[in-house]
Amino acid sequence: MTKPKYYITTAIAYASRKPHFGNTYEVIMTDAVARYKRARGFDVFFCTGTDEHGQKIEDLAKDAGITPKTYVDGVAGEIKGVWDKMNTSYDYFIRTTDDYHERAVQKMFKRFYDQGDIYKGKYEGWYCTPCESFFTETQAVDGKCPDCGREVKRAEEEAYFFKMSKYADKLLAHIEANPDFIQPESRKKEMVNNFLKVEGGLQDLCVSRTSFTWGVPVDFDPKHVTYVWLDALTNYITAIGFDPDKSFEEQSESFKKWWPCDCHVIGKDILRFHTIYWPIFLMALDIPLPKKVFGHPWFNFGMDKMSKSKGNVIYADELADEFSVDAVRYYALSEMPYANDGSITYEAVIKRYNTDLVNNLGNLVKRTLDMDKKYFDKKILAPTAPEALDDELKAACTKAYNEYVAYMDEYHLSDALASVFEMLSRANKYIDETTPWSLAKDESKRERLATVLYNLLETIRWGAILLAPFTPETSEEILNMLGADKRTLDTIGGEQFGGLTVGGEVLDSKVLFARVDEEKKLAELEEKRKARFAPAPEEPKIEKPEGLALIGIEDFMAVELRVAKIIECERVPKAKKLLKLKVDLGYEQRQVVSGIAKFYEPDALIGKKIVLVCNLKPATLCGIESNGMILASGEEQVRVLFLDPETPLGERIR
């Protein structure tokens, strides 16, 4: 039987800076939905990635003294690293600098132009660089961006525009005919009333820029680059093989399998781009619209929006180092309401960690396994002595399952988690009601004790399966400790209580989540936060060196400096200061000995591009011949001069 397909995406992260906790929530949430859908038997394609063009990135790269491509390569790698650390199970990671994506964007732009959907004009108005957005006089209030609150700048430039008004009525009809297209409901009303039903109608959209160059060039008018939203939004179809030169029927099997997308998961701040502009682009391409766009709320730091300038930014990967990946995933998914903004503070993280994960889940698992080891030598015995209390526990499990499925199907993830933890709380109460330690004292109640422990172990199995989309590593560890052979969602629910195999054996218990000393941990985290956001120390003033001998240009030109790459590096035995390096100049390879061993680990240098003095006479150090010298600064703290990775090997430095 063919599995039903489910295509889900995140908005691609803007490759300007490392994503904070609020940004990371989106990929964690989408991952939980993807894992749930797989558990329900769907063939899932989960796509995420990075948006890498635009004026902001061009400016940041310029400030850093590197090319935009080098800049986004670094940030995209950092974003992907965070996604991987948070154990997200994406199937594809797209970058808008990928060649195939850029080619498709150019073709779409030309197709829109040939169809008469795009025309050349002139833009005059307000522009917000951080948001990459244009605003009218009425939208920019008091010279500030209505989205981020930063100052906007007056802009005037030649640009191409997309005729949004041409498709506005068709889009409105689609939204009204498909009530689930925009979720939550409150977001739909906002989009319709603020953009489609406003006086004057939907304004045409600027889709090219001429004031910067870091973007996809418009191939038939090269002084223009494609404006970020036409470039970024189309990743959802280029990632699965869309060809702008073909009709829907002529597309690849991959594209026809996955499109239309079942759900775009995005932040509420970019809802208009995904529910107004994106559907209109798709209408112009004559392909189906996505089934749902879900605009999730934001995570605030307490009551304030996260901001580096305020010093209140929290990063998910760093929080995971303090509490574990699953603990961070759990907090993110349990604390974000369906429609309202969530909140994160270090105090709230610690409280929920200690209460839910340490007490409710961790202690339940450990107590139950320890009792089974103590009373039955880890054996799972048959539940042959039922009582009325058992039915209450089973009913709590069935209730949790039913609520969980209903909530997950509607993206109410925090409510789904609440149902699971209500079931776990009922299991903890069941221990207090049945008092297994008392039953163990009476040999005649051995069968009742075996029944109580079986019911607890089975409830834990249900809990581990239900928690798998949220805390996958912890769930796997629990199921391993139970020795459970039935681990899938279809083995629980309804009347299936009793799936844990009788005669099996549990493993020794482990501490799943160690209790955190709140006061101590808060002090540590606050110290780290202050250190991160402390003002950069002023550069120390140094005296001008004396006695510098002046040289002529002919002397300087006699020194041949060239670009080399370190391909091998190891310590020199019995020489604490020396490293032996093999460097590649492109036209030849050399061996160099350098006194930087105190400051660099050999592995950290491999692949780095450096400046090599090539025409230095060979020298022998500790019996090893050195053919050149690496440029570095400092004496007490030596710093090697590293070059842009894209600098060609062997290039002369002048």
The pLDDT assigned to 407 comes to 98
pLDDT tens digits along 355-372 = 999 999 999 999 999 999
* Range 98-111 average pLDDT: 98
The model's confidence at residue 551, banded by pLDDT at 50, 70 and 90, is: confident
Q: Alpha-carbon distance 444 to 454, whole Å?
A: 17
Decide: 63 and 141 in contact? Cβ < 8 Å. Answer: no
Looking at per-residue pLDDT, the higher value among 24 and 145 belongs to 24
Residue 547 pLDDT greater than 70, yes or no: no
Q: How many other C-beta atoms can be found within 10 angstroms of the C-beta atom of residue 297?
A: 18
Which residues of the chain form CATH 2.40.50.140?
553-653
Q: How many other C-beta atoms can be found within 10 angstroms of the C-beta atom of residue 104?
A: 22
Q: What percent of the chain has pLDDT over 70?
A: 95
The pLDDT assigned to 28 comes to 98
Distances (CA, A) of 62 to 68, 70, 93, 268: 8, 11, 26, 30
Element holding 158 (H helix, E strand): strand 153-162
Q: What superfamily does domain 367-537 belong to in CATH?
A: Isoleucyl-tRNA Synthetase; Domain 1 (1.10.730.10)
Looking at per-residue pLDDT, the higher value among 614 and 155 belongs to 614
Q: What does pLDDT average to over the chain?
A: 92
The pTM of the full predicted model, rounded to 2 decimals, is 0.81
The torsion angles phi and psi of 624, rounded to 5 degrees, stand at -115, 130
The pLDDT assigned to 539 comes to 63
Q: Alpha-carbon distance 466 to 39, whole Å?
A: 10
Q: Alpha-carbon distance 291 to 270, whole Å?
A: 17
pLDDT tens digits along 566-594 = 999 999 888 888 999 999 998 999 999 99
The pLDDT assigned to 637 comes to 82
The model's confidence at residue 135, banded by pLDDT at 50, 70 and 90, is: confident
pLDDT tens digits along 295-334 = 998 888 765 666 655 667 899 999 999 999 999 999 999 9
The model's confidence at residue 536, banded by pLDDT at 50, 70 and 90, is: low
Q: How many other C-beta atoms can be found within 10 angstroms of the C-beta atom of residue 150?
A: 13
* Range 158-186 average pLDDT: 94
Decide: 276 and 202 in contact? Cβ < 8 Å. Answer: yes
Q: Which residue has the tokens 């109410």?
A: 412
Which residues of the chain form CATH 1.10.730.10?
367-537
Q: What CATH number belongs to 553-653?
A: 2.40.50.140
The model's confidence at residue 550, banded by pLDDT at 50, 70 and 90, is: confident
The model's confidence at residue 526, banded by pLDDT at 50, 70 and 90, is: confident
Q: How distant is the alpha carbon of residue 64 from its chain centre?
A: 24
Q: How distant is the alpha carbon of residue 154 from its chain centre?
A: 33
First to last CA, the chain: 67
Decide: 587 and 612 in contact? Cβ < 8 Å. Answer: no
Residue 492 pLDDT greater than 70, yes or no: yes
The pLDDT assigned to 323 comes to 96
Residue type for 262, please?
D
Residue 541 pLDDT greater than 80, yes or no: no
The pLDDT assigned to 623 comes to 85
The pLDDT assigned to 63 comes to 92
Flag the least confident range among 3-17, 138-152, 579-593.
Answer: 138-152
The pLDDT assigned to 524 comes to 92
